[in-house]
Structure 1
Amino acid sequence: MTLRWPRRLSGAALVAVALLLFDPQGARAEPGVPDPPNGLITDRGKGEVSDADRDFAVKVRLAGLWEIPAGKMAQEKSDDPRIQSIGRDIAAQHVALDQLVRDAAKKLDVSLPNKPNADQQGWLDEMRDAEGEEFDRVYIDRLRAAHGKIFPAIATIRASTRNDTMRKLAQRTNQFVMTHMTLLESSGIVDFAALPTAPPPGAPTGSTSTAQLKPTSSSAGGTPVLALVMVALASAAVTVFICRHFLLGSRTQGSRRSYRRPQGRYLGS
Structure 2
Amino acid sequence: MSRCAAAALGGAAVVVALAVPSGAAHAAPWSIDPAQQSSGSATAALAQQDTAFMTQVAQVNLAEITIGKLALQKAATAQVRSLAQETLTDHQSAQSKLEQLASQKGAMLPSSPNAEQQGIGHQLESASGAMFDTTYLQAQIAGHQEAATQTRAEIASGHDADVQNYAKDFLPVVLKHLSDAEAAAKALGVAPKGANTGSGGFVEQAHPRAADLGLVVAGLAMAAGAGVVLLRRRQRLE
Superposition deviation, residue 190 in structure 1: 4.6
Aligned-residue RMSD, C-alpha: 1.7
| Matched residue, 1:130 | 127
1:115 aligns with 2:138: no
Q: Deviations over 1:10-30 (max 9, x none)?
A: xxxxxxxxxxxxxxx9xxxxx
Consecutive unaligned residues in structure 1, runs of 5 or more: 1-24, 26-47, 196-269
Q: Aligned runs of 1:1-269 on 2, under 5 Å?
A: 49-187=46-184, 188=186, 189-192=189-192, 194=194
- Tell me how far apart the structure 2 counterparts of residues 151 and 190 of structure 1 sit (CA, whole Å): 21
Consecutive unaligned residues in structure 2, runs of 5 or more: 3-44, 196-238
> What secondary structure does 2:109 align onto?
coil
Superposition deviation, residue 194 in structure 1: 1.7
Residue pair 1:144, 1:190 contacting (<8 A) in 2 also: no
- Tell me how far apart the structure 1 counterparts of residues 160 and 81 of structure 2 sit (CA, whole Å): 38
TM-score by length of 1: 0.53
Q: Deviations over 1:21-52 (max 9, x none)?
A: xxxx9xxxxxxxxxxxxxxxxxxxxxx62101
> What secondary structure does 2:112 align onto?
coil
Q: Deviations over 1:141-173 (max 9, x none)?
A: 112111111211211111222211111111011
> What secondary structure does 1:79 align onto?
coil
Superposition deviation, residue 59 in structure 1: 0.5
Residue pair 1:56, 1:157 contacting (<8 A) in 2 also: yes
Superposition deviation, residue 74 in structure 1: 1.3
Distance change in 2, residues 1:74/1:193 (3 Å): closer
- Tell me how far apart the structure 2 counterparts of residues 193 and 77 of structure 1 sit (CA, whole Å): 21
Superposition deviation, residue 83 in structure 1: 0.7
Superposition deviation, residue 192 in structure 1: 3.6
Q: Structure 1 runs of 4+ off > 2 angstroms?
A: 189-193
Would you say how many aligned residue pairs link Structure 1 and Structure 2? 149
- Tell me how far apart the structure 1 counterparts of residues 190 and 54 of structure 2 sit (CA, whole Å): 27
Q: Which has the higher contact order (CA 8 A, sep 6+)?
A: 2
Identical columns (%)? 23
- Tell me how far apart the structure 1 counterparts of residues 176 and 98 of structure 2 sit (CA, whole Å): 17
- Tell me how far apart the structure 1 counterparts of residues 76 and 113 of structure 2 sit (CA, whole Å): 26
Residue pair 2:61, 2:92 contacting (<8 A) in 1 also: yes
Superposition deviation, residue 193 in structure 1: 6.4
